Amino acid sequence: MAIAIDTSVLIAAERGFVTLADLLEKEAGPFYVPALAAAEYLAGTHLAGSETTRERARRFYEAEIKPLVDVFDEADAAALALLNATLRRKGQTMKLYDAAIAAGALARDDSLLALDNDFDRVTGLKLIRP
């Protein structure tokens, strides 16, 4: 079993609130960054307020995140569809990036390292809080 790393952890690490290396040492990996977590992080880099902030975030992505990015495949897509339908039946919604990240971890029976409380409502998701 592997551990997926959520965007919330990546952002906290990039901003210096946590150290990614320290977090990874505390848990028994292997670790990966879901492709949709990478996409969410990259979207944030495009929206950053200054060129300095954008450049710092891009450097962090290239050095720390990119080597860990894993694919979003058909099993992830099927799990995302099921999760979305399950939540909608309960009258709930979830941001697409978060739902895709959670669904991928569920599809692979992996844990998710996250700071985001939105994941608490995903039944069966094994959450790790730093």
Instruction: Name the phi and psi angles at 77, rounded to 5.
Output: -65, -45
Residue 13 sits in a domain whose CATH number is: 3.40.50.1010
pLDDT confidence band for 103 (50 / 70 / 90): very high
Can you give the C-alpha Rg of the chain in angstroms?
14
Question: Rounded to whole angstroms, how far apart are CA atoms 44 and 46?
Answer: 5
Separation between Cα atoms, residue 94 and residue 102, nearest integer Å? 10
Domain count of the chain? 1
Q: Does residue 66 register a pLDDT over 90?
A: yes
pLDDT at residue 67 above 90?
yes
Domain limits for position 74: 3-128
Pull the structure tokens for residue 59.
């450097």
Q: pLDDT averaged over the chain?
A: 93
pLDDT tens-place string over residues 7-55: 999 999 999 898 888 888 888 879 999 999 999 999 999 998 889 989 9
Torsion-angle region of residue 117: left (phi > 0), alpha (psi -120 to 50) or beta?
Answer: alpha
pTM comes to 0.92
